[in-house]
Every structure is written in structure tokens, then in C-alpha cells.
Amino acid sequence: MNLAELNKVAVAMVAPGKGILAADESSGTIKKRFDAIKVESTEDNRRDYREMLFRSTDAMSKYISGVILYDETIWQNAKDGTPLVKLIEQAGSIPGIKVDEGTQALPQCPGELVTVGLDKLAERLKKYYERGARFAKWRAVIDIGAGIPTMTAISVNAHALARYAALCQAAQIVPIVEPEVLMDGDHDIDRCYEVTQRVLNKTFQELRVQRVELEGMVLKPNMAISGKKCPKQASVAEVAEKTVRMLKACVPAAVPGIAFLSGGQSDEEATAHLDAMNKIGNLPWKLTFSYGRALQAAPQKAWSGKSENVAAGQRAFAHRAHMNGLASKGAWESGLEKKAA
């Protein structure tokens, strides 16, 4: 393992003004997204859609540091035969790959899940590296509810995340470590804070036990945020202040950067929260974005599966990427959204 090289990639992934495009929707998820815009989820349509994003030269070269791909996508070629991986590289962005294989019910823990996919991961990583992937992603899912999460769910998921991260670094691939505490419930921001703190502490404990080099990884956490069904939604300022405080308490300064997931926030909320955190400033690590839906909802709608809408889809993507790029430097203002509209 070459730690200097891993660190170089990790630092590039969280470069100021840039963030990561999560284009790693599973077949089921992308079908839901396509259903919403009345597009059939065929292999060709999925390819055309992602090719549109990766050929958005403006967005990709200025605001996107890396792209997380799904297994299907990393092996696909563009319409003209160019591997999609090459399009990403040509734009000056880094190709990455989602390597977990989804979740299963966790035995003895009703309502809780564990992420699977460690079997044969070492072999898969070798192939992904040969194809051009320089970072990977594994997502653990922690739900908040009555009596959950249990320490069991937190422990097994943290253990798997660390196993995955160690395997990645051995394969010369930077791991994105993603322990996601879901925002689906009716819990308030303080409950989210408390659970996320437990999850992050356990995750870093496991990463140390399994000798993962913190300088060669990127963390992808949720923000401290109110559950979707909570009657009292925390303000932008409160989300920013509590998230920064939580991260300072849990995330070692050796980690080069933190790239947030949007986790169901609206496009503008995800941008406003990231911006407010960077405006607090004086942070030991870079704070940026690794958004899926919050970068893609607008371009999907603009494109709607029609080739004549490709330019409109690319403009919508460039706008969202630009707004989040500004937020990653604490330079965003809501007035910029109105201007573009």
C-alpha cells in the first residue's frame, strides 16, 4: 500500500470548490427516479442519462472531483464506444465505485439492517482498479426508531465498514466510509446528534482496530438534522452548528475531508446547510458534498429521456454542481438560485 498516493487521491476528492457526484443508484433506485420522469429504465437509457452527466464539461471539470459509479455503469461504453470511465477521467474527475451489495435484515434485531458484500471483495477491487476506479464507497444504514438503533446494529455495521476500508487500501483504492443515520423518522435534531455521535465513535474505533490509515480515506456522514416527520424542523444555522460540533467531537483531524450525503434533503437545503458549515470556518478537515439526488433531481427532470433535452439537462446539472461548489467554500447565497431560475 502506498499511503502517499492514497492521500493524494483523497485530498483531490475534497478539493476546495469541488465535490463528488453519487451516480451509483442501484437498478431499483434508478428505476424509481426514471418512473418519476416517465422514462423506461433500460440499460441504454441508464447509459444515455449518465453519459449526459459525464459529458457536462462545465460541471465536471469545474465542480466535480469524483464520480461514484454502479457496477453496471463502470463497464459501460458511451454511444461512440468510449468507456464511461474515460469520459470522467478526460473531464479531470476521478472514477469511483460503489462496492457494497445492499442490506439484509440483521438477525435478532427486528427492524435493523446490515450491509453485505465483503465476500470476494478483494478480487472485485482488483478488477475495479484495473478498470480505472481510484476510490470506492460502502454504505451502512442506521435507522432511528423506538428502541433502535441497538448497539448490535451499530457495531456490526461499523465492523463491516472498517473491513471494507482496510481491503480498499490494500488494493490501493481510497475508501469512502459512509455510515448513514437515516432522517426518515419523527426524531428531533438532538436525537439525530446523539445517535450519529455513537455511530461515528464506533466507526472510528473499528477503523483503528483494523489499521485503516485515516489519511487515505474520506468520510461520508449524514448531517445532524431533524427527522423528516419531526414537527419542529431545525434551522439552517442550528443544523450547521450542531453538525460541526458533532464532527469535531468524533472525527480525527487526520481525515483529509468529509463529503456529506444529502439523505433526502431538498436541493437547496443540502446546499444551504453545507454553506453554513463552511461559513463557520476554522475546521480541521475539508467539508464538501457527495450528493446523489440533490445534484441529479433537476437534470433528470430537464432531460426527461429526450435527446433534444440533453443541453437543458447539462445546464441544470452545471447549476446545481456550481451552487454546491460555492457552498463547499462558504461562498453560496440563496440569491444565486433565483438568478439562475
Give mean pLDDT, residues 85-93: 98
Four-point Cα dihedral 136, 266, 257, 177, nearest 10: -40
User: What is the DSSP pairing of strand 113-115 with strand 64-69?
Assistant: unpaired
Domain that holds residue 140: 3-340
Q: Which residue in this structure is represented by grid cell 482496510?
A: 166
Split at pLDDT 50, 70, 90, the class of 118 is very high
Which residues are within 8 A (CB) of 145 and not within 5 positions of it... i.e. 6 or more apart?
A: 111, 185
Catalytic residue annotation: 178, 220
The answer to whether 176 and 218 are in contact (CB under 8 A) is yes
Please tell me the predicted confidence (pLDDT) of residue 339. Answer: 73
Model pTM score: 0.97
Give mean pLDDT, residues 24-42: 96
Amino acid at residue number 50: R
The number of angstroms, rounded, from the C-alpha of 91 to the middle of its chain's C-alpha atoms is 20
For the chain, percent of residues with pLDDT exceeding 70: 99
- Count, residues in the chain: 341
Give mean pLDDT, residues 26-51: 96
Of 258, 216, 287, 251, residue with least CA distance to 10: 216
- 267-322 pLDDT per residue, tens: 999 999 999 999 999 999 999 999 999 999 999 999 999 999 999 999 999 999 99
Please tell me the predicted confidence (pLDDT) of residue 338. Answer: 81
Residue-averaged pLDDT of the chain: 97
Please tell me the predicted confidence (pLDDT) of residue 22. Answer: 98
- Taken in order 25, 28, 29, 35, is the CA torsion positive or negative? positive
- Tell me the C-alpha distance between 173 and 178, whole Å: 15
Which residues are within 8 A (CB) of 101 and not within 5 positions of it... i.e. 6 or more apart?
A: 115, 116, 117
Q: Which residue in this structure is represented by grid cell 460503489?
A: 98
Residue 341 has pLDDT above 60, yes or no: no
DSSP E strands in the chain: the ranges are 19-23, 64-69, 94-98, 103-105, 113-115, 135-142, 174-181, 218-219, 257-260, 286-291
Please tell me the predicted confidence (pLDDT) of residue 340. Answer: 66
Q: Residue 305's domain is classified under what CATH number?
A: 3.20.20.70
Q: Which residue in this structure is represented by grid cell 483531490?
A: 12
Amino acid at residue number 272: A
- Tell me the C-alpha distance between 26 and 109, whole Å: 25
- 187-237 pLDDT per residue, tens: 999 999 999 999 999 999 999 999 999 999 999 999 999 999 999 999 999
- 164-182 pLDDT per residue, tens: 999 999 999 999 999 999 9
> Residue 87, class by beta-carbon neighbours within 10 Å (0-12 exposed, 13-18 middle, 19+ buried)?
buried
Of 25, 275, 68, 104, residue with least CA distance to 176: 68
How far are the Cα atoms of 25, 38, 185 from residue 32, in angstroms, in the given order? 10, 10, 21
Residue 8 has pLDDT above 90, yes or no: yes
Q: What is the DSSP string of 246-311?
A: HHHHHS-TTS-EEEE--TT--HHHHHHHHHHHHHH---SSEEEEEESHHHHHHHHHHHTT-GGGHH
Split at pLDDT 50, 70, 90, the class of 124 is very high
Strand partners, 175: 136
For the chain, percent of residues with pLDDT exceeding 90: 99
Q: Please give the tally of structural domains in the chain.
A: 1
